[in-house]
């Protein structure tokens, strides 16, 4: 009986110890699980990415892949930020931005046509990044024209991404046969165009339809005369309309320019129907593929008071929202020389930065060199929040003057009164 009691007591003690041991293991396991969970949360927080979106309108997989190189390159240096490029057709972009602004459904970054930047800044779409940009040590490297296209009311709303401009193409053989040199001034242009106009060939061709394309081609003449979009009715503005209208009057330029797109002007030039044309660098690949044997040269658009060109291209805008800091960091990364240079070369753009434009890729190619140097003279359209309305008035005035339905003075002064009303 006593042995039984002792056995019972020993069994009880063993059981109790076992229970105690189980209790200790459970506590330790719970503690370890809690520690592991905390570590997992810290690790997850460390690798959790902020996701941004970038809207763009460039068509084709090739261009998408080039933009993806920029976003992936940024993420490689900033693992906590992921930027997704999202294609939006050009025809839909403005509508989606306007609707998104009202519905608060917007991207974090937008690639936008440079004359539209000010309009959307005025609408409150873009974030003011003036303070952030003021600390950049290389901001003085940007050309005045591209840089000013990102500014509205003294505030910075993005940076230039890539640029283009207009220059004068000329058929070398035709000029040699006519005994003229590439014109540098308006007087030289009138003389050269008249000598080149013969045997079904007109001396000069430009694009002058009643839309933004026409305005784009007219602005170099207006700026060279010493006027701007809000000074059409000035003597300088009237002179800009007159120099082109006079070329039409004497047959040195076709009346059909009011129907020609820039692609149409290229066709006229490449088929030998126009001896000189005003056009952009994007036409160079087309000429190389369609008329590889054509010998042509490039120079600045002839000047009145000063050489002038107009700025084409896109800007990178930072949208108001929760990711302005990250979006601004991406913008700074993109426009750094080591990143922007290979991108511009692959994309067919011209540098908005002077230091990048000084690279032999642009300075030693005789064709690209002219457009690169032209960036010194390329000025933005506007910038003004009502640029589409202003542009429409300008192109309509061109149509009146170039069809000879109105005198250049009448067309210019009528346009001035309409622009004055818009700017009130």
The predicted-structure confidence for 12-21, as pLDDT tens digits, reads as follows: 433 333 333 4
Q: Residue 157 and residue 134: Cα distance in Å, rounded?
A: 12
Q: Which two tokens stand for residue 331?
A: 């913008």
Exposed e or buried b for every residue in 30-57, given b needs 16+ CB within 10 A? eeeeeeeeeeeeeeeeeeeeeebbbbbb
Mean of per-residue pLDDT scores for the chain: 89
Q: Residue 181 and residue 184: Cα distance in Å, rounded?
A: 9
Q: Which residue has the higher pLDDT, 244 or 91?
A: 244
Q: Which two tokens stand for residue 268?
A: 């006229």
Res. 225: pLDDT tops 60: yes
Strand pairing of 312-318 and 158-164? antiparallel
Determine how many CB atoms are found less than 10 A away from the CB of residue 225: 25
Q: Which two tokens stand for residue 218?
A: 């007219």
Res. 171: pLDDT tops 80: yes
Tell me what pLDDT residue 181 has. Answer: 97
Q: Place 104 in a pLDDT band, splitting at 50, 70 and 90.
A: confident
Tell me what pLDDT residue 33 has. Answer: 52
DSSP run (H or E) holding 39: helix 2-47
Q: Which residues contact 246 (CB under 8 A, 6 or more apart)?
A: 190
Res. 216: pLDDT tops 90: yes
DSSP run (H or E) holding 316: strand 312-318
Q: Residue 419 and residue 423: Cα distance in Å, rounded?
A: 6
pLDDT in tens, 122-134: 999 999 999 999 9
Q: Which two tokens stand for residue 130?
A: 């003036």
| pTM to 2 decimal places | 0.80
Q: Indicate if the alpha-carbon torsion angle 228, 369, 163, 352 is positive or negative.
A: negative
Q: Indicate if the alpha-carbon torsion angle 347, 350, 351, 352 is positive or negative.
A: negative
Among residues of the chain, what percentage have pLDDT more than 90?
80
Mean pLDDT value of segment 209-225: 95
Q: Place 47 in a pLDDT band, splitting at 50, 70 and 90.
A: low
Q: Which two tokens stand for residue 423?
A: 């700017």
Task: Specify whether the CB–CB gap between 313 and 143 falls below 8 A.
Answer: no
Tell me what pLDDT residue 103 has. Answer: 84
Tell me what pLDDT residue 285 has. Answer: 87
């Amino acid at each position: 009986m006593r042995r039984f009691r002792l056995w019972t007591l020993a069994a009880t003690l063993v059981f109790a110890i076992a229970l105690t041991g189980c209790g200790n293991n459970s506590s330790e396991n719970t503690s370890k699980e809690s520690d592991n969970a905390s570590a997992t949360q810290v690790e997850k927080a460390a690798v959790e990415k902020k996701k941004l979106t970038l809207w763009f309108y460039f068509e084709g997989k090739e261009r998408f892949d080039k933009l993806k190189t920029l976003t992936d390159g940024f993420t490689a240096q900033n693992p906590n930020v992921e930027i997704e490029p999202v294609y939006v057709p050009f025809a839909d972009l403005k509508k989606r931005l306007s609707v998104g602004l009202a519905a608060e459904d917007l991207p974090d970054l937008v690639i936008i046509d440079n004359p539209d930047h000010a309009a959307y800044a005025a609408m409150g779409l873009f974030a003011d990044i003036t303070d952030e940009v003021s600390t950049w040590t290389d901001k003085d490297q940007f050309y005045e024209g591209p840089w000013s296209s990102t500014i509205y009311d003294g505030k910075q709303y993005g940076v230039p991404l890539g640029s283009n401009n207009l220059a004068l193409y000329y058929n070398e053989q035709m000029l040699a046969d006519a005994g003229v040199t590439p014109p540098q001034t308006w007087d030289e242009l009138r003389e050269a165009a008249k000598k080149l106009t013969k045997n079904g060939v007109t001396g000069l061709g430009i694009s002058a339809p009643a839309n933004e394309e026409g305005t784009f081609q007219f602005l170099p003449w207006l700026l060279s005369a010493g006027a701007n979009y809000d000074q059409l009715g000035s003597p300088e503005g009237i002179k800009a309309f007159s120099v082109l209208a006079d070329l039409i009057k004497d047959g040195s330029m076709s009346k059909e320019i009011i129907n020609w797109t820039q692609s149409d002007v290229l066709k006229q030039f490449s088929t030998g129907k126009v001896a000189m044309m005003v056009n952009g660098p994007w036409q160079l690949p087309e000429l190389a593929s369609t008329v590889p044997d054509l010998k042509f040269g490039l120079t600045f658009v002839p000047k009145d008071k000063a050489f002038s060109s107009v700025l084409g291209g896109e800007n990178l805008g930072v949208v108001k929202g929760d990711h302005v800091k990250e979006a601004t960091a991406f913008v700074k990364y993109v426009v750094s020389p080591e990143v922007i240079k290979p991108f511009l070369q692959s994309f067919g753009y011209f540098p908005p930065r002077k230091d990048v434009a000084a690279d032999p890729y642009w300075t030693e190619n005789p064709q690209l060199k002219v457009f690169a140097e032209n960036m010194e003279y390329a000025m933005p359209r506007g910038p003004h929040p009502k640029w589409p309305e202003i542009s429409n008035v300008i192109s309509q005035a061109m149509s009146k003057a170039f069809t000879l339905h109105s005198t250049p003075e009448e067309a210019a002064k009528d346009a001035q009164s309409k622009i004055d009303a818009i700017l009130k």
